[in-house]
Structure 1
């Protein structure tokens, strides 16, 4: 026993000592005038963990880089190679944390340290990893014309890009230019098909979710479940999830697609459609939501939930993290099935307990048993409340009870009929009506999903004025749609259609020539 205590104490002391050494080292380094020493320290520090799979370690690394940048001004040190490499690595790490943030940091590195070829190649490599080969090529060509050095390195990268390789530089030349976790050589085989792991994008319970790509560079989300770590109920819940995904995706485009799966005695693989980012992350990155985006995403959510309700499934834990954006459309990524057994996620973001409470209907709280799990009386109307909270967040930038930080007080406020929910005035009166009818505490009086789908709020065009020539409108729209089809580009059609919808929404008279002009302009944006 004394021996075990000694070992435990030694391990604890070692952890404390290592933490102290790291803190002391970084403080000493940022007190000097040596970016080179900082770069060496940070490079060695990264070897102690995996920022691609350890969010806490990633956060620690980013914090260290921020302290170094605060100590050494960008304008003064950006011409040195070690500082440029820190700028690049910081951008790569930000790409692991949130791919949408990375391009801005790469742009900073390229604009201030443009003489170094590796800076441009790192940005090009990142864009290639996101499927933007055209942008990757533009970055490299621009670097070549600006005489970034060494030019041979740029030419090698361009040749590899043109030949279809996933790595712009051989491993011996990369020198910290690409994250080791993002481009690992690990692969997974499902029913004889090989998929290469790009990075982990989520984890929870006994499962992990990876972003993977196949030989043709098609990107997927791969859910891996370790059955040796899961109990019998959890195993059954995952099998039910596969069964429901297989069945429901044919009924709605707003349900995430399951392409293939493999079940053995020790693991489950689920190959699914990969979203760009979840709605929770999308909302956090915006100060406000465009009214048309809000309306389109609201319809997507309603259609997804309406589908699962029609097939006897009540989600009971809807929140923004349950929806992902795929090709400008929201899709539901789970049905709350596994969540009833154990916590589980399929994206890099996971709501805290308080975050989940912000979307929980009053009847779920009242009917919660002592172990904290929802009781059997939860109905489809509970999902309506949760959806209303999401729409409220998309409208006002917060959930109805988010300002109440004390959890007990929040619970009382949610279930207390005398606690009035604040509905600040908005220009869209139909939107306000939807919010008020969703957030009714009595589920019997709450609006249904079917009624929400028929609500005037979802009408893209305003009500026509008296005397409107319906046949003329129909003819105009037909010609506009023909012109959109002539663009011969799905992305251009989508952008043009979005502009058309905005014009409809603003109540402007639809002029064919104007719509065609707008459509043509979107082709080059």
Structure 2
């Protein structure tokens, strides 16, 4: 983006405000906390979230949640509960928690409402969350209580209640929802001349009458610069952008089309905005994908890539949607689909384990559906295990809590007090078991525990019994119980899971049509039933050839004879 500021603009007092604001939004979290200002903290956190989409980028989500937790530990609730910026942080923290654990988010929303009753947006945010969970009656109750708490502005609550009665999925119009998300403080602090960024499909080129397709218009104090956003070139090969299908951190994923009209996905990583650890994770992902794709169809295909000092392009197979989204859209999972997807997951993880790689962060979002088959993606934090060892020790906790194995929880008794976690291929088995549990019961094993500390204790505590409600598929129940064993040495392996009876498809036998039986045959069968005599059976055998064209009487007599002999014995 070109910089067109003039000297007099830089000397303008408003620009000094901009520089100060820039420092607050790009400094470290410790610098932000030293300000003891909810406004400064909110500005920093909102700017941090602009780097990507927390719903699609687990690393960004984890970082945001950690930063919010640090803010709340330094800024006491009792002192700042009546501060609007603080209330907005409480709301946004609850919304981010909802991505990770809806049950925990419930508690966060309740805390925000009980502590910041005077702000209408706090009540509406909680009501919106309940509506998204399908609890319309609870949503209405929260809005009614907002009137009782005299939350301001009242008009905002009235609008939300009216939209609920109309059956709308969003309680507020878009412009009001942005305010709830806590963006207003940023807009107020930005100087007018700094930048105006328009990102629409069709936008005015000169801000008057002319239009252009697929442009991003940047306005700096009246000067305009247009950038084409309709194609990407990778190693001389051009791809036309159809749409952006994902973003996270410093990366964006586009659905593209080549000149042969073939669909691909292109992951674009802006290295100028990424730290060294993030850059290393992307290079790690390329290395793993490049190596593994030749060994399994359940690993997402990496067709090509290009790395420079400024960016990374990864040309990949284009999937339909990730397993996490698929599960959210399906209230119940078809048993055959579950079994099919389970086998896909096992085959993918079996491949990486055979090549000495532990994923460490398996969850539904790490699997994407491609042509009705599940494929493994995202190797950013995966690690290689050397041939002569069985596990590795990481100096930080990794993974997503609801899918994290007990052995990966931080060991605070490590040497020199430095937290570490031990991971092995059996850790991936636990995570897969949690995914299968979710596909079976609609939630993860520890999802109902809302307190994070209590959840950590439950995962690691052998005395805490995991609930396994009874299901018709006993083989599936056995798989779940053997995956979710806390001792990794006793936990089932991927190879054993692939050979487990649960994956053996039982052929559906179609009963043979019953042939009409003539009167003479019916009489003989009746005699057999009445007499239960071996002599009767012999007589029936002597005439069975007469009826061989209608039924297999020999087989019937043989089975009946066997049953009679067993009965007499």
TM-score calculated relative to the size of structure 2: 0.48
| CA displacement at 1:250 relative to structure 2 | 1.0
Cα displacement string for residues 443-470 of structure 1 (whole angstroms, at most 9, x for unaligned residues): 00000000000000001116999xxxxx
1:225 is matched with which residue: 269, 274, 289? 269
CA offset digits 1:198-227 (Å, max 9, x no partner): 333333333222222223332221111222
How far apart are the structure 2 equivalents of 1:71 and 1:458? 46
Give the alignment partner of residue 414 of structure 1, picking from 442, 459, 467: 459
User: Would you say the 8 A contact 1:434–1:452 is kept in 2?
Assistant: yes
| Residue of structure 2 in register with 1:360 after alignment | 404
Instruction: Find the counterpart in structure 1 of residue 47 from structure 2.
Output: none
1:146-203 deviation per Cα after TM superposition (whole angstroms, max 9, x unaligned): xxxxxxxxxxxxxxxxxxxxx9xxxxxxxx9x9999xx85211111111122333333
2:362 to 307, 318, 330: 318
Which residue of the partner structure matches residue 388 of structure 1?
A: 433
Q: Deviations over 1:306-329 (max 9, x none)?
A: 000000000111100000000000
Are 2:275 and 1:268 aligned?
Answer: no
Going from structure 1 to structure 2, the CA distance change for 1:354 and 1:252 (only over 3 Å counts) comes to closer
The corresponding residue for 2:448 is 403
**Rounded Cα–Cα distance in structure 1 between residues aligned with 2:432 and 2:502:** 15
Match of 1:424 in 2: 469
CA distance in 1, matches of 2:17, 2:501: 68
SS at match of 1:300: helix
Q: Judging changes above 3 Å, is the alpha-carbon distance between structure 1 residues 10 and 263 closer, same or farther for their aligned structure 2 residues? A: closer
Match of 2:163 in 1: 70
What TM-score, normalized by structure 1, do the two folds share? 0.52
Structure 2: how far apart are the matches of 1:446 and 1:256? 27
Q: Provide closer, same or farther for how the CA distance between residues 275 and 463 of structure 1 changes in structure 2, counting only shifts above 3 A.
A: closer
Following superposition of structure 1 onto structure 2, how do residues 159-308 of structure 1 map, counting pairs within 5 Å? Answer: 185-308=229-352
Residues of 1 paired with 2:231 and 2:475: CA distance? 50
2-structure distance, mates of 1:204, 1:254: 23
How far is the alpha carbon of 1:418 from its aligned partner? 0.5
Tell me the SS of whatever aligns to 1:381: helix
- TM superposition shift of 1:245: 1.1
- Structure 1 segment 330-479 matched on structure 2, within 5 A: 330-337=374-381, 356-367=400-411, 375=420, 377-461=422-506
SS of residue matched to 1:377: strand
- Secondary structure in structure 2 of the residue aligned to 1:295: helix
Question: Cα gap change, 1:291/1:188 in structure 2, threshold over 3 Å: closer, same or farther?
Answer: same
Aligned to 1:170: none
CA distance in 2, matches of 1:303, 1:72: 48
1:227–1:5: structure 2 CA closer, same or farther, 3 Å change rule? closer
- Distance in 1, matches of 2:347 and 2:417, equals 29
- 5+ unaligned residues in a row in structure 1: which ranges? 13-49, 75-88, 91-166, 168-175, 341-352, 466-525
Structure possessing the higher radius of gyration over alpha carbons: 2
Return the offset for 1:274: 1.3
Q: Distance in 2 between matches of 1:339 and 1:208?
A: 24
**1:7 pairs with 2:100:** no
Query: Per-residue deviation at 1:377?
Result: 2.6
Summarize the Cα distance change of 1:215–1:185 in structure 2 as closer, same or farther, 3 Å threshold. Answer: farther
> Any idea what the Cα deviations from partners look like across 1:28-73, whole Å, max 9, x if unmatched?
xxxxxxxxxxxxxxxxxxxxxx9x98989xxx9xx99x96993997
The number of residue pairs the alignment matches comes to 321
1-side partners of 2:231 and 2:240: how far apart?
4
- Equivalent position of 1:507 in the other structure: none
Cα RMSD over matched residues?
4.9
Note the C-alpha offset of 1:373: 10
Instruction: Indicate conservation of the 8 Å contact 1:185/1:196, yes or no.
Output: no
Give the C-alpha shift of residue 357 in structure 1: 0.2
Change (3 A) 1:332 1:386: same
Once the two structures are TM-superposed, the CA of residue 399 in structure 1 deviates from its matched residue by: 0.1
CA distance in 2, matches of 1:224, 1:372: 39
Deviates more, 1:285-294 or 1:228-237: 228-237
